[in-house]
Amino acid sequence: MEQTKKKDRLALWIFVAMLAGIVFGYIMWHVGQAAAVTAYIKPWGTIFVNLLKFIVVPVVLISIVCGMISMDDVKKVGSVGWKTVVYYMVTTLIAIIIGLVVANLFKGAFPILETSGLEYEAKSSNFMDTIVNIFPSNMWSAFVSANMLQVIVIALLFGAGILVAGDKAIHAKSLIESLNEVVMAVMMFIIKLTPIGVFCLMADTVAVNGPQIVGSLLIVLAVAYLGYIIHLLVVYSVAVKTMGGLSPLQFFMGMIPAMIFAFTSTSSVATLPLNKECSEKLGADKDVASFVLPLGATINMDGTAIYMGVTSLFIATCYGIDLTIGNMLSIVLTATLASIGTAGVSGAGMIMLAMVLQSVGIPVEGIALIVGVDKLFDMGRTTLNIVGDASCAIVVSNWERKKQERLTAKK
Ligand code: ASP
């Protein structure tokens, strides 16, 4: 309760900081003092962005190894485990593709900003190069250059190593789990600094680009929500209808309490108990739900994937970067993995967005553009995240029921 109150207060501060930044930036733009804002206010925002960048490698590395360790449970639950993972992967892939498609459709409405002295360039688009470069030849250089795809491969390999080594890896496992707590605490500390970062960066963006940039934020928000709604109404309806044997209307009506809670709490993990209750009322098997839902709250983030697709394209456009098909494939790959690595807590998706941007060579500073309204993105994406988990619980329960029926019919 106390935690939720604190989070609400932070959200309020972020919102106030955004408004203050817009007003201050507008005044400075009006009096022609943009250069002063860039010289004296923006650097404080840059410190915030630096901290975001700094925490990305440890968060990705540790949280993905931790995710791999939890796959041990997947092995234990046998076929239910693999069905769940495949369902999660496929729906996440569809989500990121929907995100990129809607963002591309509305790309013309995104602005190109004045970004003085910009020397960023989108990274190589050659598909084979992208594949080869995923595999690191030197672990440390991957960390030093924050090459996120390589960091992910390192995490997956070490995670697999821990699983294979079994009991002998018990110390490595507990070290990683304990480090995960530490890294999460540092991440939370950085998230708490968001209001300061938002004020400074927003002030600079508005002072340099003028007030029309605020309208662009509303557009990108609307585009993300369009993606959320398409995914919700098309993908989950089709899934529960064809594979779960449940009418979509019944499904969404039954999910309303959990959806409202997710929308307001912006945390999949906090919504877990309510989500379990709603899913079971809709016919999900108790045992299946108690495996599928907690795993989903940790690794399945369809809303976050859509958000990453839409915002990375928005930020790239703002910086005048034209993404190639190769870049977009990179986004699909990293955003899928990033959404797996995103913790089911408020604001975590924004940190992982930094990793997606970094992997394609889009300036991470661009997060400044959307950070002020991230809470509004988060409300929608968390709602989608938990509905995705519930739809999986319904589908897998139905598959298991049918399997049982087949087995008893054979006997
Ligand atoms: N808040 C989201 C969740 O808990 C994660 C995110 O920030 O994308 O599902």
Higher pLDDT, 8 or 142: 142
Is a pLDDT exceeding 70 seen at residue 125? no
Tell me the two tokens of residue 134. Answer: 């995923």
Tokens, residue 151: 């960091």
Of residues 221 and 330, more confidently modeled: 221
Q: Ligand 1, closest atom to CA 382?
A: 9
Whole-number Å distance, alpha carbon 266 to ligand 1 midpoint, is: 6
Q: Which two tokens stand for residue 101?
A: 């498609």
Q: Whose CA is nearest to atom 7 of ligand 1?
A: 349
Q: Average per-residue pLDDT in the chain?
A: 86
Which tops the pLDDT comparison, 127 or 98? 98
Note the helical H segments in 138-193. Answer: 139-144, 148-165, 170-192
- Taking a C-beta distance cutoff of 8 angstroms, is the pair 110, 223 a contact? no
Q: Could you tell me which residue, 79 or 29, shows the higher pLDDT? A: 29
Atom 8 of ligand 1, nearest CA residue: 349
Give the mean model confidence (pLDDT) for residues 321-346.
84
* Ramachandran area for residue 283 (φ above 0: left; ψ -120 to 50: alpha; else beta): left
| CA-wise closest residue to 378 among 353, 351, 346, 352 | 346
The more confident residue out of 229 and 194 is 229
pLDDT band at 267 (very low <50, low <70, confident <90, very high): confident
Identity at 171, one-letter amino acid code: H
Ligand 1 centroid, distance to 347 Cα (angstroms)? 6
Q: What percent of the chain has pLDDT over 90?
A: 40
The whole-number average pLDDT for the span 125-145 is: 80
The Cα 317–Cα 205 span in angstroms is 15
pLDDT above 70: residue 126: no
As a whole number, mean pLDDT of residues 393-409 equals 90
- Please give all residues whose beta carbon lies within 6 A of any atom in ligand 1, as ranges: 266-268, 301, 304, 342, 344-349, 378, 381-382, 385
Residue 138 alpha carbon to ligand 1 centre in Å:
32
d(CA 343, CA 46): 24
Task: Give the number of C-alpha atoms closer than 13 A to the C-alpha of residue 255, restricted to the C-beta side.
Answer: 27
Probe ligand 1: pick from 346, 370, 374, max atoms within 8 Å of CB?
346
What distance in Å separates the CA atoms of residue 125 and residue 103, rounded to the nearest whole number?
Answer: 19
- Alpha-carbon gap, residue 48 to 193, rounded angstroms: 7
Nearest to 96 by CA among 319, 308, 312: 308
Pocket of ligand 1, candidates 298, 378, 386: which has the most ligand atoms within 8 Å of its Cβ, to mutate? Answer: 378
